[in-house]
Structure 1
Amino acid sequence: MYRFKLSYRLISLAASAVCTLALLVLLPIELTVSFVAVLAAIVSVAAYRLNNYLLTVLSGAFLFRVAFVVVDSLAGFLPTVPISTGHNRRAIALATAWTNGQFAGVLGETTIMRVVMAHLLAPFYVVLGHSSVAGRIGIAFVSLFVGYLVFELARHVADYRTSVLAASIVLFWPTIVYRSVVIQREIVLVVVMLTFLWAAVQWLDSVTLRTVTIALLATAATFALRKENLVLIVAMVGFVSLGKSRDKPYYLAGLTLFSVPFLAFFALNFETFTGHGSTLSPAALESFAYGRAHGDAVYLMGLHYDTWLDVILYAPMKVLYFLYTPFPWHIQSITELFVGMSALALLAATFFVRRGIAILHDKPYYLGLLLSYFLTGVVTYSIIEMNYGAAVRRRIQFIPILLLLAVVGLSNVEFDVRWPTQ
């Protein structure tokens, strides 16, 4: 057994103080941003005083992200994501139109994804001003729901402190922090997928109008943001239906009516979802994979899918590349070093996943639902991914589940955490 000593409240308070001081010294980029930082610090200190550790973690994570955004806006050490420029421009146009009383016909013809992102970010530009900092703070705020949803998922199998620990690790995981401070859809999609997973977990007990409504909204958002992910939703619905069909056979009929038409449509209209091939086939998968394999971050360029057996045999190697690249021999810059160290940390966390799965053996339906999302997502993305830059972005959808299982695996290791008495 190992013993770890940690003054949880002291670390949270110190982090809040340092981030607040950094913001107040470095800012006047936007006075409103300064106000947001101070407000987050006040919430963090109040939560600390009230012994609300989840709120302390959430507010501390937000304050850290705001500080990160401000420092980068001054120093410019993060590369600019090309798609961020378009998201920023459209959100500013929408915010400007709203303040002028115009609420329709602002964005013109564009994709659903871009419309959704503009409407999600525009309120932050209205409040904080027409600077890309406002959009990045908006993304940072949305990213907090990743931690909250991980906490809610963990509470089904772990105590309060372990659940807070899981949320903390996820919120401060390096690649998740990075995707939480750039204007992209990736972290928004993570929130959407975890929301559906949360609803599906509730269905294991009972299906309610509230959870069905939330799931339908999450499904609509998934279609708008990345329609390929509808396959993951089908996998989750399928597992829940199979689990509940043991007691209520009509769930199996519902599963068949729901999944078979969708899977058939997906297979016969593969080009509609991916832009490659016509029907689902090894050749179409290869075309999709090589269509994404561009730039200096490509891997396994000699790999080809001639038959379905090739797809199956190559899958384990593709999963390793998808989850743990860039490997040390890929690293050629400071950014790649940062991401590579995060990948090594993810590999270390993976060793505890087996312990987590063993601990959850008495909750097979909960475990099976988590794995239906995680394994379906990791395997399918691995098959069509050949670029570790894209792999880093895509895998943050599944890192929260891997880390959750790892934390559960660590839950029977003795921790000496100094929690104050109530």
Structure 2
Amino acid sequence: MTILAGNPQTGLLFSPPLDILGGIVNVYNFWGLVLSPAYLLWGPSDVYARISLAALGVLAVWNVFTLGRFLRSRWVGLLAAVPIAVYPSFVLVESTVLRESAVLFLLTSVVRLAIGPSSLSQARRIALCGAGLIMLPLLRWELWILEALAISAAAVVYLDARTDGDVRDRLHTHWVGTSALSIAFLYGIWQVSKRAARYLSFLHSERAVGRTAYLASVTFRQPLRMFAFAPVAVVYFLFTPFPWMVGTAADVVVAAEALGNVAFTVAAVRGIRSLLAHQLDWRVSTGWVALGVWVITGSILFGLGTANVGTAVRHRQMFIWVVYLFGAVGIVEWFSSYLLDSKVLY
């Protein structure tokens, strides 16, 4: 079952041939299966589904606030949560039957369980995090790649922190083996990049339609061209529409949100410097490294595959909330002296 134009549709969950890079499960039919309880109830089924997803959006806002409060103070949590709660693009998406609301809820919940405060036992936290990490690629298959990269980065930081740098010392000692592994790793990256460049260039061209399309003539079917275009794609992905792209009143609202994203990104630089200057618990520092990798790699992957403002606005919600967290830390650092004098920082 899937939802097309507001109507439930049936279909197979598994569509052969199976391709781990292209997605094993038909995500649209799986999403329809998730929503099916609302359409089995008597009454306005679409309203039930929208209310349920709006509730998930509210919980996502609370998760972000809790993470910010745990990270530094309630002001950090409030500043990070406000854009998600009031930006029209977030509010409108979370009131529809699109997957974005559920994805955002799962992301923020996994991070909160992993590094935030919780009254649950460690075993339950691990089980719930695992369930969330499994559900995310079922809703949007590309996320398994980002999960693998973020978890790998977190594992490296974790091992280094728990062994007091012993891993680095061993790598320096066995430099021949380390060099061989690095060459093999880079070769693997290159081979994957060739396939990714062809797929993302095709996806970019397919999405470069409509009034809000941008960079429609750009193609990057070779890895080097893809790498060169990636910074531009990320900027457009996170900060569109630019002023010269505004054509309607609705565009003005979204452009104002984009300016807010720019401000939070600038503040995030200060926030990251502040976090690095503090001695954080190894679990928290590992989590923030994973989130940093998530934002960077996710913005590159989805930025390369996006070529219109509407898609960018929906997809960047999976990543921009982390920028809001880091940016909120930077904003509070800038105004900390005033807040302390006013006795409202904590």
Is the TM-score greater than 0.5?
yes
* RMSD, aligned CA: 3.5
Greater RCO (Cα-Cα under 8 Å, separation 6 or more): 2
Structure-2 separation of matches of 1:384 and 1:214: 30
Length, aligned pairs only: 300
**Residue aligning to 2:17:** none
The secondary structure found in structure 2 opposite 1:391 is: helix
Distance 1:87 1:119, change over 3 A: farther
**2:293 alignment partner, one of 372, 375, 382:** 372
In 2, distance between residues paired with 1:161 and 1:332? 36
Q: Deviations over 1:135-189 (max 9, x none)?
A: 2222211111211221232234212343244223422233211211122111211
Corresponding residue for residue 314 of structure 2? 393
Shift, 1:121, TM fit:
3.7
Cα distance, 1:384 vs. partner? 2.0
Aligned 8 A contact 2:80 2:328 in 1:
yes
Of the three residues 353, 356, 361, the one matched with 2:271 is 356
Matched residues in 2 for 1:170 and 1:418: separation? 26
The match for 2:86 is 172
Partner of 1:138: 52
Compute the displacement of 1:264 (Å): 6.9
Q: Structure 1's 198 and 239: CA in aligned 2 closer, same or farther, altered over 3 A?
A: farther
Separation of aligned partners in 1, 2:37 and 2:200 = 39
Write the distance in 2 (CA, Å) between the matches of 1:365 and 1:222: 20
- Return the offset for 1:129: 2.8
Tell me how far 1:200 sits from its aligned partner.
4.2
Q: Is 1:336 aligned with 2:239?
A: no
State the shift of 1:394 in Å.
Answer: 0.6
In structure 1, the partner of 2:7 is: 89
Cα offsets for 1:209-248 (capped at 9, x unmatched): 3233122211221221111111111122112210121225
- Quickly say closer, same or farther: Cα 1:212–1:389, change in 2 above 3 A: same
Distance 1:128 1:142 in 2: 22
Q: Tell me the equivalent position of 2:230.
A: 315
Shift of 1:378: 0.9
CA deviations over 1:60-103 (Å, ceiling 9, x no partner): xxxxxxxxxxxxxxxxxxxxxxxx9627432xx9xxxxxxxxxx
Matches within 5 A, 1:16-95: 86=4, 88-90=6-8
Q: Is the 8 A contact 1:282 1:308 kept in 2?
A: yes
Q: Distance in 2 between matches of 1:126 and 1:334?
A: 39
How many angstroms does 1:301 deviate by? 2.2
The structure 1 segments of at least 4 consecutive aligned residues displaced by more than 6 Å after TM superposition are 416-419
What are the equivalent positions in structure 2 for 1:229-268 lying under 5 Å apart? 229-246=143-160, 247-248=162-163
Using the alignment, how far apart are the partners of 1:309 and 1:118 within structure 2?
39
Identity percentage of aligned residues = 23
TM-aligned CA deviation for residue 336 of structure 1: 2.0
Q: 1:220 to 1:264 in 2, by over 3 A?
A: farther
Q: Judging changes above 3 Å, is the alpha-carbon distance between structure 1 residues 375 and 163 closer, same or farther for their aligned structure 2 residues?
A: same
Task: For residue 366 of structure 1, report the CA deviation from its aligned partner.
Answer: 4.3
Task: Structure 1: give runs of 5+ residues left out of the alignment.
Answer: 1-83, 94-106, 253-259, 271-278
Instruction: Describe how 1:207-246 pairs up with structure 2 within 5 A.
Output: 208-246=122-160
In the other structure, the counterpart of 2:240 is 325
The yes-or-no answer on 1:286 pairing with 2:233 is: no
The aligned residue for residue 77 of structure 2 is 163
The structure-2 alpha-carbon separation of the partners of 1:369 and 1:417, relative to structure 1 and needing over 3 Å to count, comes to farther
Task: Please identify, of 128-137 and 372-381, the stretch whose mean Cα deviation from structure 2 is larger.
Answer: 128-137
Give the Cα separation in 2 of the matches to 1:131 and 1:365. Answer: 42
| Paired letter, 1:158 | R
Counterpart CA distance in 1 for 2:71 and 2:31 is: 34
Residue aligning to 2:12: 109
Give the superposition deviation at 1:127: 7.0
Q: Could you list the per-position Cα deviations for residues 379-422 of structure 1 after superposition, in whole angstroms to 9, with x for gaps in the alignment?
A: 22112222222111110111211111111111231348897xxx
| Cα 1:345–1:160 shift into 2, 3 Å | closer
In 2, are the aligned partners of 1:139 and 1:188 still within 8 Å (CA)?
yes
Give the alignment's TM-score, normalised by structure 2: 0.75
Larger mean CA deviation between 294-303 and 280-289 belongs to: 280-289
TM-score by length of 1: 0.62
Change (3 A) 1:374 1:330: same
| Distance change (3 Å), C-alpha of 1:191 and 1:264 | farther
Q: Is the 8 A contact 1:356 1:408 kept in 2?
A: yes
CA distance in 2, matches of 1:418, 1:144: 29
The letter for the 2-side match of 1:86 is L
CA distance in 2, matches of 1:135, 1:417: 44
Query: Is 2:27 the counterpart of 1:147?
Result: no
